[in-house]
Amino acid sequence: MGIRRGIRRPHLRASLGDPVADDIYGALRHAGREGMTRTAIRDLFGRHQSADRIGAALALLASKGKARMEIKQSGGRPAESWIAMEVPRHGRYLDILDRAGYAT
């Protein structure tokens, strides 16, 4: 019997049926409440996914209620940011903020 190397991802999170969307969702969850800009999402794939492919994956995430887009003013060109709707909560501090009604 061989030893398995690495961890298989399908059992760690529910798959959306789209590997690009799954990878983006995982990165958005990891990014937390700050989310990620469209540029950061593109860079996540080392620029090996087209803008159309990333756009389709983001549209899937939005349609499934997994992510939302915000436009942030930055003094220059507005930045498109994406935020996971289910952000993992870690630590007592976030629990206290939740109970006080400050964290979403």
In sequence order, the 6+-apart residues with CB closer than 8 A to the CB of 66 are 16, 25, 84, 85, 86
Domain boundaries, the chain: 19-100
What's the CATH class of domain 19-100?
Answer: mainly alpha
Q: What is the tens place of the pLDDT at every residue in 24-79?
A: 999 999 998 889 999 999 999 998 999 999 999 999 999 999 999 999 887 888 88
pLDDT at 7: 39
